[in-house]
Amino acid sequence: MHVFRCIRESCGAAYPLAENIHTCPRCGGLLDVEYAFDREAAAQWPALWSGRRASLRKLDSSGVWRFRELIPFISEPESAELVATLGEGNTPLLDSAAAAGFAGLDAIRFKHQGFNPTGSFKDNGMTCGVTRARALGMRLVGCVSTGNTSASMAAYASYAGLVPVVFIPHGEIALGKLAQALEYGAVTFQVEANFDQILRLIFRMAESLGLYLLNSVNPFRLEGQKTIMAELLEQCGWREPDWIVLPGGNLGNVSAFGKGLRELRDLGLIRRLPRLAVIQAEGAAPLCRMMESAAAELRPVERPQTLATAIKIGAPVSWPKAVRELRASGGVCVAVSEQEIADAKAVIGRAGIGCEPASAATLAGARKLRAAGVVGPDQDVVAILTGHLLKDPDYILRYHAGELECGGRPLESRLANRPRIVAAEAAALEAALREATGDRLTAGG
Ligand code: F0G
């Protein structure tokens, strides 16, 4: 039978999936969704999944529900009606010689979750979260967000006929994300506090407000996000990469990836676990500090600071799950500076790939791990780009104008690309074009 299972070793309580709970009613611990998989059948699943790529059925066109044997919290006849899908997943795996060179690696591949319907990996989770809300008959759904979760929830909830309510830190989320929440029709509250403070408040109030909470403490969100690993492994021909590098904020994604990979291994679909590397911004790195000091508990960062606002989080809710997955996979956590993030982001942009600031922490982190000798030059590294470049246009324009600063400290714009103002006159245009492109043409691009 499929159940909720409390992840605390001292508790381990199980509850039927029919219950509407997010955390363990007995001890307050985080919950996993635990399935009784049919291990015998699993050997056939990769063929089934790849066969569905040719299908035009709604469920098969989703890069999450195509892998539905891995997320059987809803039975198939039901799911056709209940599933809220915008065609999420199906994201590309892109390589870049320039990015690899920057990191000191022979090669690096980017799994770009920014290609999702609302431009972030949250869509992979939200299709499951909103489907679950529908299955429970909930009408009002809510989340606290640094921007991407709110954009994604707004879209999926409105599409499914539910009412989305978002709580975001006032003035601290990227413009593209706020614009999405408004356009997708979310009731939007800009709360005068930081993400951690708002989450604490709303978590306490959700039930009395009648809100179905769709933050990543909701285990069904993580069930959707774990399918990113199935899709990645399929793209890798079921050959495990050595490393999977991802940014860490509230630590839901690393928890989802770790669980997904362990399940694939236990089902015999992969032989070993890739090592997970979580990258945090220096000003918001509570997990890195915890791992460095070998502490038993996470000590929150009171005033997190980073221009990568998506991961500006000091008290990540899912840290116990994250620690479990880092231990299981021999993983690591590394902090990178604002300058390192800015440099890496510009390299990813110049490669024609592009991403939002938090996502670029992955390349900065891979470079740091390579320099420290933790990652070998010929190891197979996949970095997860979590959000689309257009999420945060303000950061980009400031970077290219040489105006980025964090905490009063200016950042260097090493790959600044400034627009040129030119007269509407043929000779001037021609001269300006020759001057601007000459070097790049002789350098081969
Ligand atoms: N990258 C991006 C672009 C994000 O939006 C987030 C989280 C992360 C990385 C970190 O993922 O929290 O699972 O460790 N954004 C959340 C939000 C918190 O509200 O949109 P995580």
The residue whose CA is least distant from atom 12 of ligand 1 is 250
Residue that has been written with the tokens 């008290």 in this structure: 315
The per-residue pLDDT of the chain, averaged, comes to: 96
| CA–centroid distance, residue 311 to ligand 1 (Å) | 6
Place of tokens 């509250």: 189
pLDDT band of 78, cuts 50, 70, 90? low
Q: What is the pLDDT of residues 375-424, one digit of tens each?
A: 999 999 999 999 999 999 999 999 999 999 999 999 999 999 999 999 99
Measured in Å, residue 337 CA sits from the centre of ligand 1 at 18
Ligand 1 site, residue 123, Cβ cutoff 6 A: no
pLDDT digits (tens, 9 = 90+) for 105-121: 999 999 999 999 999 99
Ligand 1 mean position to 187 CA, how many Å? Answer: 21
Provide the Cα torsion 231, 340, 437, 95; round to 10°: -20
CA count, 13 A, side-chain hemisphere, 331: 32
| Whether residue 146 has its Cβ less than 6 Å from ligand 1 | yes
Q: Which of 71-85, 135-149, 190-204, 300-314 has the least mean pLDDT?
A: 71-85
Q: Is 147 in the pocket of ligand 1 (CB under 6 A)?
A: yes
User: pLDDT at residue 141 above 90?
Assistant: yes
Ligand 1 pocket member 79 (CB < 6 A): no
- What is the identity of the amino acid at 30? L
Tell the residue number behind the tokens 């990258």, with chain if given.
279
Closest CA to 288 of 309, 244, 319: 319
Q: Is the CB of 118 under 6 A from ligand 1?
A: no
CA distances from 319 to 67, 328, 418 (A): 26, 14, 41
Confidence of residue 441 (pLDDT cuts 50, 70, 90): confident
Closest atom of ligand 1 relative to the 249 alpha carbon:
14
Confidence of residue 438 (pLDDT cuts 50, 70, 90): confident
Burial code (b: 16+ CB inside 10 Å, e: under 16) for 416-445 equals eeeeeeeeeeeeeeeeeeeeeeeeeeeeee
Ligand 1 in reach of 247 Cβ (< 6 A): yes
* Ligand 1 close to Cβ of residue 356 (< 6 A): yes
| CA–centroid distance, residue 79 to ligand 1 (Å) | 27
- The band of 445, judged by pLDDT with boundaries at 50, 70 and 90, is low
- pLDDT over 60 (residue 256): yes
pLDDT band per the 50, 70, 90 thresholds, residue 77: low
Minimum-distance ligand 1 atom for the alpha carbon of 147:
20
Query: What pLDDT was estimated at residue 352?
Result: 98
Scanning 184-333, the segments in alpha helix (DSSP H) are 195-209, 219-235, 252-266, 286-293, 319-329
> What's the CA-to-centroid distance between 419 and ligand 1, angstroms?
31
Distance CA 385, CA 109 (A): 10
Is the pLDDT assigned to residue 259 strictly greater than 80? yes
148 lines ligand 1 (CB under 6 A): yes
Does the Cβ of 117 fall within 6 Å of ligand 1? Answer: no
Alpha carbons 356 and 201: distance in angstroms, whole number = 28
Upper half-sphere CA count for residue 112 (Cβ side, 13 Å) = 20
The residue whose C-alpha atom lies closest to atom 15 belonging to ligand 1 is 310
Distance (angstroms) between ligand 1 centre and the Cα of 83 equals 23
Query: Average pLDDT in the 253-258 region?
Result: 98
Backbone angles phi, psi at 195, to 5 degrees: -55, -45
Residue 275's alpha-carbon distances to 8, 116, 144, 331, 381, in angstroms, are 23, 25, 30, 5, 10
Q: What average pLDDT does the segment 40-56 reach?
A: 96
Q: Which fold is adopted by the domain 93-116+220-410?
A: Rossmann fold (3.40.50)
